[in-house]
Amino acid sequence: MNRLLYICLGLSLLGACKSPEPPQRKFVDVDGLDPAVKPGDNFFRYVNGRWYDTATIAADQTGVGSYSFLNIPQKQLLQHILDSVSKLQNAPGSLQQKVGDFYASGMDTTTINSRGYTPIQPILARIDDIKDVPSLMGFVASECKTGNQSIIGWTISPDNKNSNINIAHVYQTGIGLPDRDYYVKSDSSSVAIQQAYKNYLATLFELTGSNPALATQQADTVYGIEKQMAASHKTNIELRDVNANYHKVPVSSISKSQPTIGWAAFLTAIGAKTDSIDMAQAGYYDRLNTLLSSIPINDWKTYLKAGTLTTYASDLSAPFVNASFEFTKALTGQAKQRSREQIMTENVDGRLGQGLGQLYVKRYFNEDAKKRVLALVNNLQKAFENRINHLDWMSDSTKQKAKEKLYAFTKKIGYPDKWRDYGKVQIDKSKYFENLLSIAQDEFQFELAKLNKPVDRTEWGTTPSTVTAYYNPSNNEIVFPAGILQYPYFDFAADDAINYGGIGMVIGHEMTHAFDDQGAQFDKDGNVKNWWTKEDYEKFKTKTQRIIDLYSSFTVLDTVHIKGALTVGENAADNGGIAIAYDAFKMTPQGQDTTKIDGFTPDQRFYLSIARIWRVKTRDAFLRMYVNTNPHSPAMWRVNGPLISAAPFYKAFNVQPGDSNYKPVDERIKIW
């Protein structure tokens, strides 16, 4: 679990691929504009309305368009690589052999189906052998080392108060639904998902030998335990409070306050030598300590079996995979399972991502993109500095600290300078499940080796091929993988208006995360440390509250509103990112010109590009889950929300009083 990693974006296909002649692309979809919609009423619909009304979501997907859904065609590129390398006779132990054979082992569904649930029977047998709480915790520790985290959420990452050192963190876990609210809501949609989850659990128990009546009883037992755990969970909004989710405590102390868990024995069992832990959500572990004593051991065994089954269901034979999908369908509205090729491409990318990433970069990445994007990053830093200098609400002393943090950014573009070594991973082309365990064990040891060691600031938190970008406050770094340096966010053939409205907005967004409600609490070195005057921080919180209030007013589905307090960081980053990108664009020759292209001024093309990069359509069920759990606003409001306060947008498209999204000057929000 990467704590406080702001994963933000998603995108397209072949813009950065090596090609002697870049494909000719019409960067503004003029024919797709909807003249029936005024830009000042709904700019997202003005730019994307015709596409939205005619776009079809594939049966095996939850959405279509840009953002994370552009990882779909990106995965097709990875699949081509895997199809090729898996058919070669690669040298044993080579990167190609491990990546190719892991993919091939997962594609061998004949063998996987013939094994049924045999691969996990030893795990289930070990659960049957549990006699008491100490042996239960011994099982939990053993499984933790293969990635099967049940009641202890465990990770290693920088200390919030000393970002140069990696420490152990534990966080709330133990539930199978997306978050705690799913256990307490009583609306029809939530009740339907609760029942679908119980049905899923019951099906898994039936597939492993229970009769229907017993399976239903077992599912109810598991759900009852999870509901008790969920009651101790913090909400997604409460999890945004940086200081309230940091509790570095001595192991000796929690061994006394939570004796039933047996922390010293657990840490010894997983091989973690440490005298302190950051117990991020202490309330969960206080509750767990009580539940371990109050819930009968046989019920805990049923719970652990359910956790094992749900962890591995999609990796077993077809009946288990189908059961898993039925629950996914209820949760997201996805109508059809993805192909095995799609599933395995995602599995390889998720588990051997830097291995596959090396092959991807070699085949598809244009090195010149790094230089071009670095130049954009530097331009946006200058634009951001200028905006800080002209803030009317911040004192000079805080401005100086903000600029120091701005210029202390580590900039990671394309792919890591140092690749992950998978030398200890053993891959057998005929043993898919065992391959999964080998990878998981290697991952656990890779992370464990960091405990109480200096932070490696060259490490990446995503794979190079992923269509995303992020800001990491602990390292004060902005990261733009090779996957995002493509159309519609970036293209060598595009004019500056398009690129600054695309990748420029992304860069500005990530920079602003260093100064959002969470990022603003970290100093330039990545430590949670106040660098504000008291008066300035109060003004900042007041402005941030206005962001919360505005987005909370947006209705997404029937009575479902955006959760302004959950999405405040991303919304602030969108608002700041667009403003910074626009200022940087105005430094370019085109930005200072008025020559039209395709009938649009440079400023208009800049904003058209912004609306184009959020061209997304999703299923309603997915959107409902997204609003409940995701810190980003849905695509339409990532366009319309920030533009409500963007004065240059008003001028570019002649937005006037009476337009639906018009706001008087004193109601527009400007933080950065």
What pLDDT, on a 0 to 100 scale, did the predictor assign at position 477?
A: 98
Q: In this structure, are residues 569 and 513 in contact, taking their beta carbons and an 8 Å threshold? A: yes
pLDDT at 25: 58
pLDDT tens readout for residues 185-235 = 999 999 999 999 999 999 999 999 999 999 999 999 999 999 999 999 999
Residue 401 has pLDDT above 50, yes or no: yes
Query: DSSP secondary structure string, 126-170?
Result: HHHT--SHHHHHHHHHHHHTTT--SS-EEEEEEETTEEEEEEEEE
Distance CA 313, CA 120 (A): 10
**Residue 14 in this model has a pLDDT that exceeds 60:** no
What pLDDT score was predicted for residue 467?
Answer: 87
Predicted local confidence at residue 82, as pLDDT: 97
**Stretch 429-444: mean pLDDT, rounded?**
98
Alpha-helix runs per DSSP H in 185-317: 188-207, 212-230, 251-257, 263-270, 282-294, 297-312
Q: What is the pLDDT of residue 647?
A: 97
Q: Do 515 and 672 meet the contact criterion of CB atoms below 8 Å apart?
A: yes
Domain locations in the chain as residue ranges: 6-18+365-418+458-667, 119-315
Element (H, E) at 279: strand 276-279
Query: What is the predicted pLDDT for the residue at 251?
Result: 98
The predicted-structure confidence for 219-229, as pLDDT tens digits, reads as follows 999 999 999 99
As a whole number, mean pLDDT of residues 614-640 equals: 96
pLDDT recorded at residue 166: 98
Whole-number average pLDDT of the chain:
94
Strand partners, 249: 277
Please list the residues that pair with 597 across neighbouring strands. Answer: 600
Q: Which of 277, 238, 237, 245 is nearest to 261 (CA)?
A: 277
CA dist 611 → 166, 556, 623, 654 (Å): 40, 18, 19, 17
Spell out the residues 6+ positions from residue 110 whose beta carbon is closer than 8 angstroms to its own: none
pLDDT at 12 over 50: no
| Token pair 């805080």 in the structure block, residue | 398
> Which homologous superfamily is 6-18+365-418+458-667 in?
Collagenase (Catalytic Domain) (3.40.390.10)
Predicted confidence (pLDDT) per residue in 658-671, tens digit: 999 999 999 999 99
The Cα-based distances of 496 to 105, 493, 504, 590, 595 in angstroms read 45, 9, 9, 7, 13
Contact by Cβ (8 Å): 179, 205: no
Helices and strands counted in the chain (H then E): 27, 12
The tens digit of pLDDT for each residue in 633-660 reads 999 999 999 999 999 999 999 999 999 9
Homologous superfamily, domain 119-315: Neutral endopeptidase , domain2 (1.10.1380.10)
Contact between 57 and 338 under an 8 Å Cβ cutoff? The reply is: no
Q: Is the four-CA dihedral 176, 60, 440, 631 of positive or negative sign?
A: negative
Q: Are 551 and 567 in contact (CB under 8 A)?
A: yes
pLDDT surpassing 70 at residue 530? yes
Phi-psi region at 391: left, alpha or beta (left = phi > 0; alpha = psi -120 to 50): beta
Contact 180, 233 (CB under 8 A): yes
613, pLDDT greater than 70: yes
CA distance 204 to 628: 27
pLDDT tens-digit profile of 120-172? 999 999 999 999 999 999 999 999 999 998 999 999 999 999 999 999 999 99
**119-315 matches 6-18+365-418+458-667 in CATH topology:** no
Residue 69 pLDDT greater than 90, yes or no = no
Residue 133 CA, distance from chain mean position: 34
pLDDT at 60 over 50: yes
Q: SS3 for 654?
A: coil
**Exposure class string for 606-626: b at 16+ Cβ within 10 A, else e:** bbbbbbbbbbbbbbebbbbbb
Beta bridge mates, 248: 278
Which band of pLDDT confidence, cut at 50, 70 and 90, is reported for residue 21? very low
- Which tens digits make up the pLDDT trace of 566-594? 999 999 999 999 999 999 999 999 999 99
Distance (Å, whole) CA 327 – CA 57:
19
- How many whole angstroms from its chain centre is CA 208? 33
Give the pLDDT of residue 469: 95
pLDDT, one tens digit per residue, over 372-394 is: 999 999 999 999 999 999 999 99
Q: In Å, what is the CA distance from 379 to each residue of 372, 504, 574?
A: 11, 9, 18
Predicted TM-score (pTM) above 0.85? yes
- Which residue's structure tokens are 């990770």? 155
Structure tokens at 566: 């959950």
Whether the pLDDT of residue 6 is over 60: the answer is: no
Query: What is the rounded CA–CA span in Å between residue 73 and residue 76?
Result: 5
